[in-house]
Amino acid sequence: MQSSYDIIKGPLVTEKGTRLKDTYNKVLLKVAQDANKIEIKRAVEEIFNVKVLKISTINQYGKKKRHGLKLGKRSDWKKAIVTLKQGEKLEFLERV
């Protein structure tokens, strides 16, 4: 079993994520690839002291990239869309 800080890798700050946060109270997080929805929910509630209603996860596959004559591939990663309870918010994503 992983610790909560091993499961949550960090926030994803994108235009779509900002729109989701403002309109639907959803937050985008980058999480460990082997983490499931139950572990992600427990980690978010433990680290940020918020109530989570729903978790959606998406596996993002790394793009293939060319470096001169060599072919390479970016790493695969997992994204979680966390729906927070009404009135809850994550402080580190708020503007000052």
pLDDT in tens, 45-82: 999 999 999 999 999 999 999 999 999 999 999 999 99
The pLDDT score that the predictor gives to residue 60 is 96
Give the mean pLDDT of 81-94: 86
DSSP structural state of residue 35: -
Whether 96 shows a pLDDT value over 50: the answer reads: no
Q: 47 Cβ partners below 8 Å, 6+ apart? A: 4, 5, 8
Q: Are 21 and 68 in contact (CB under 8 A)?
A: no
Q: Percent of the chain having pLDDT more than 90?
A: 89
Structure tokens at 70: 């060599």
∠ Cα 77 96 54 (to 5°): 40
The pLDDT score that the predictor gives to residue 2 is 84
Please give the model's pTM, rounded to 2 decimal places: 0.88
**Given pLDDT bands bounded at 50, 70 and 90, which one contains residue 95?**
low
